[in-house]
Structure 1
Amino acid sequence: MGYVRFAALGDSVTHGVGDAVPTGWRGWARILAEALGESHDISFCNLAVSGAVVADVRHKQLPEALAHQPHIASLIVGINDTMRSTWNRERIRRELLETAAALHGSGAVLLTVRFHDHGRVFGLPAVLRRPLFARIAFLNEVYDEIHATYGGIRVDLGEQAEVFEREFWSIDRLHPSELGHRSLARCFGAGLNEIGFAHPLPSGDREGGYVPNWRTDLHWMVTEGVPWFGRRAKDLGPWAARLAMTEARGLAQRPVLPARLPARRLPAVRRGVLVGVGLDDAVAS
């Protein structure tokens, strides 16, 4: 048994939204921290904030994370940036790389992901799904660069069939359900076991949480989903409209949307350390 400090940086997914417990949101990071605590003295610091963008992580969360002197640090952020009119590729890449470099430089093992096609899960119309897909693809290129440079443990969500199943998601389809959070925690846990942070994997079984059904989905869509989409359309709407006009004039070629986002090929190193761990590996262990 050893002493392990774990700092979690990011947005609502790492904050735990979608996995409700009596004390509030739990989420994959806390589930993983509790599992690590079975074999180690654990100091867990969850700095993730719902709605956070890359700039928030770089300028607000990173200093606190470094003060925690983590052995393990998760960096999962950027999806909120893809859905805003303030999207800036150069700034996002720079701030993600700066954050990763600082965490790695402090001695932390990085936990990251490659994002899946969120538009496919949410069922967005093609005119919004195409530009969102392009932004997510760019975000994944940055995380490829981070992983190739600093290593760590990475989960490629786009390669996992269960990510596109309804049970993986909470009622809003934007945040993982309890099962989704548990799958992510088990996936990172399997990778940590491979590199010396030995601990029992957290359970993959639901203890409660949301069970999808068409009635609750319909109620949420009417009372929450449509209003949310209306608010988000203030950012995405004008941009999507410009894209649609360009396409109508025949000035843009529509990209073919694959079933998953392709991963950049990296040097062959132990699976779970550089190439990354898949959900199937974690479930099988």
Structure 2
Amino acid sequence: MAGEPAGERSGLELPSPASRDPSGAVTPRPLSMAVFGDSMAVGCGVDDQSLGLVPDIARDLAEAVGRPVQWETHGRLGATIRRVRYRLLPAFARHADLVVLCAGSNDIMAGRTLTSWEDDLAASVTLAGEKGDRVVVLSSGQLYRNRRLGRALRSQVETMIDRQTEVSKRVCQEAGVCYIDATHDDVGTDREDFWGSDGFHPSEIGYRKLAACVVGKMPKRLLADLAALD
């Protein structure tokens, strides 16, 4: 399994000229995005952090809202939502325009109960709301589509992810935060080039496809709100 790639865990993504304000107004300040999570958050499967999921999301988000996005990643290979709750979020001493939680796959693989998932996710969402003005929760990855796992294991993992997804939707709805189900969309996981060198995590291409899915499913009202920030 691939370890955490080298590279900076923060950066700035600029929108293309075509996506900026056509009136010629001064470029708005960058919106700040802090992402907390697991191996997908830190880009395992590629050679450098810059090729991973978070900068890809920032790049697509900058295009969608027409303003720069200052991103930073706080994650660990193998992290569960419990680590996000007790270690990663509490250590964040700043405040972001947008906080993104990216976890769940390790909770599935570790066999954590849905009750534990619900409790830790709800607490993490609450804490994330104290660390940022807006909160987005991402679903687990698409591990159940990886053919290297074998049909029986894939089926078992898929069932577990389906159940976790339903709990996550309910938690986020009750908290009034955005939940993005990016685990059930076809993003080309049947192609060999979707998976990284370890055959377990996404590749550079895979992360680009996942990021496009994530930003593409962000509610229009959220994008409009981020675009209009002072």
Paired position in structure 1 for 2:5: none
Secondary structure, in 3 states, of the residue corresponding to 2:201?
A: coil
Secondary structure, in 3 states, of the residue corresponding to 1:15?
A: coil
Please tell me whether the aligned partners of residues 137 and 180 of structure 2 are also in contact (alpha carbons under 8 angstroms): yes
Secondary structure, in 3 states, of the residue corresponding to 2:91?
A: helix
Q: Report the alpha carbon displacement of residue 116 of structure 1 after superposing the two structures with TM.
A: 6.1
Give me the whole-angstrom Cα distance separating, in 1, the residues matched to 2:131 and 2:137.
Answer: 16
Q: Report the alpha carbon displacement of residue 42 of structure 1 after superposing the two structures with TM.
A: 4.1
Deviations along 1:59-112, one digit per CA (max 9) or x if unpaired, are 0111134x2211112112121122225x23322210011111222355433333
Paired position in structure 1 for 2:31: 4
Give me the whole-angstrom Cα distance separating, in 1, the residues matched to 2:171 and 2:203.
Answer: 27
CA distance 1:96–1:159, shift in 2 (3 Å)? same
RMSD over aligned Cα atoms: 2.9
Give me the whole-angstrom Cα distance separating, in 2, the residues matched to 1:90 and 1:153.
Answer: 18
Q: Report the alpha carbon displacement of residue 40 of structure 1 after superposing the two structures with TM.
A: 3.9
Paired position in structure 1 for 2:178: 152
Paired position in structure 2 for 1:72: 98
Paired position in structure 2 for 1:118: 143
Q: Report the alpha carbon displacement of residue 41 of structure 1 after superposing the two structures with TM.
A: 5.2
Q: Would you say how many aligned residue pairs link Structure 1 and Structure 2?
A: 195
Secondary structure, in 3 states, of the residue corresponding to 1:72?
A: strand
Secondary structure, in 3 states, of the residue corresponding to 2:199?
A: coil
In the alignment, is residue 32 of structure 1 matched against residue 72 of structure 2? Answer: no
Please tell me whether the aligned partners of residues 182 and 213 of structure 2 are also in contact (alpha carbons under 8 angstroms): no
Which structure dedicates a bigger proportion of its chain to helix?
A: 1
Secondary structure, in 3 states, of the residue corresponding to 1:95?
A: helix
Runs of at least 5 residues in structure 1 that lack an aligned partner in the other structure: 199-285
Paired position in structure 2 for 1:172: 198
Pairing partner for 2:45 from 12, 15, 18: 18
Aligned residue type for 1:60: R
Secondary structure, in 3 states, of the residue corresponding to 1:80?
A: helix
Normalising by structure 1, report the TM-score: 0.58
Give me the whole-angstrom Cα distance separating, in 1, the residues matched to 2:87 and 2:80.
Answer: 11
CA distance 1:124–1:57, shift in 2 (3 Å)? same
CA distance 1:55–1:193, shift in 2 (3 Å)? closer
Secondary structure, in 3 states, of the residue corresponding to 2:135?
A: strand
Give me the whole-angstrom Cα distance separating, in 2, the residues matched to 1:147 and 1:33.
Answer: 22
Runs of at least 5 residues in structure 2 that lack an aligned partner in the other structure: 1-27
Q: Report the alpha carbon displacement of residue 155 of structure 1 after superposing the two structures with TM.
A: 4.0
Paired position in structure 1 for 2:16: none
Quick one: percent identity of the two aligned structures? 23
Aligned residue type for 1:28: L
Secondary structure, in 3 states, of the residue corresponding to 1:158?
A: coil
Paired position in structure 1 for 2:14: none
Secondary structure, in 3 states, of the residue corresponding to 1:104?
A: helix
Q: Report the alpha carbon displacement of residue 183 of structure 1 after superposing the two structures with TM.
A: 1.8
Secondary structure, in 3 states, of the residue corresponding to 1:159?
A: coil
Deviations along 1:216-264, one digit per CA (max 9) or x if unpaired, are xxxxxxxxxxxxxxxxxxxxxxxxxxxxxxxxxxxxxxxxxxxxxxxxx
Paired position in structure 2 for 1:274: none
Secondary structure, in 3 states, of the residue corresponding to 1:71?
A: strand
Q: Report the alpha carbon displacement of residue 55 of structure 1 after superposing the two structures with TM.
A: 1.2
In the alignment, is residue 97 of structure 1 matched against residue 122 of structure 2? Answer: yes
Please tell me whether the aligned partners of residues 114 and 167 of structure 2 are also in contact (alpha carbons under 8 angstroms): no
Normalising by structure 2, report the TM-score: 0.70
